[in-house]
Amino acid sequence: MAATPCMAGGSATMMMLAIVSGLLIHHAIQNAMAVVSGNSCKRVAAKLLGPAPFRKCRLQYYVQVLVGDVSLNQNLLPPLNQSYSGPFGHAELFAFNATEGPEQASTRIGYARGFTIDSAYKASEIIDLIEVELISYDDGKYKGTIQIQGEIRAISPNEVAIVGGTCSFRGARGFGFIERVLLDGPYRRFHHDLHFIY
């Protein structure tokens, strides 16, 4: 279940070397010919090794947050000037478990790691964070990372953009909804509902 690179291991390393040297030669030929269309790029990508490509439209999971745990560093960067510009500039770093179902003991399907930066300049009550997040996903069939970016405000759900991916999620594009479904003492739980557009 560990979210390791999708082509880890000795044979994969040899394969990478073969691919890289192959690509260098290929690149030289392509440069000489200088004809590369969008379609030929897709064909090259399809031939690269890796886990099964994820071609479904939707992916849902939960992110488990325990406030106070070292997996949430709420003091990565202090606000620039609290009295003048509120929380502007405050940054947090996180590394959470992602699970299949909402329960804490539910099967782990990966990790959600990233950071938020408070971008509400001279804010009063407004929470306005820029979030950059990497989902390391591995459910046994699909494996890889999904890159997410978006604006997080106090009122959920927040819509984020899927800006890319690796391995099963190469070339991923789309959007997602992040909704807080539990607020119980130090526990927070978020539902991620991702929609892919290919």
Ligand X SMILES: *[C@@H]1O[C@H](CO)[C@@H](O)[C@H](O)[C@H]1NC(C)=O
Note the residues at the interface with ligand X (CB under 6 A): 64, 66, 69, 71, 81, 83-84, 96-97, 108
- Least spacing, CB of residue 29 vs ligand X, in Å: 47
C-alpha 158/C-alpha 151 separation (Å) is 7
C-alpha 31/C-alpha 170 separation (Å) is 24
Our CB check for ligand X shows the closer of 9 and 186 to be: 186
Our CB check for ligand X shows the closer of 22 and 78 to be: 78
Our CB check for ligand X shows the closer of 66 and 182 to be: 66
Our CB check for ligand X shows the closer of 64 and 116 to be: 64
Q: 143: burial class by Cβ within 10 Å (0-12, 13-18, 19+)?
A: buried
- Least spacing, CB of residue 67 vs ligand X, in Å: 11
Q: 15: burial class by Cβ within 10 Å (0-12, 13-18, 19+)?
A: middle
Alpha carbon 17 to chain centroid, angstroms: 27
- Least spacing, CB of residue 171 vs ligand X, in Å: 29
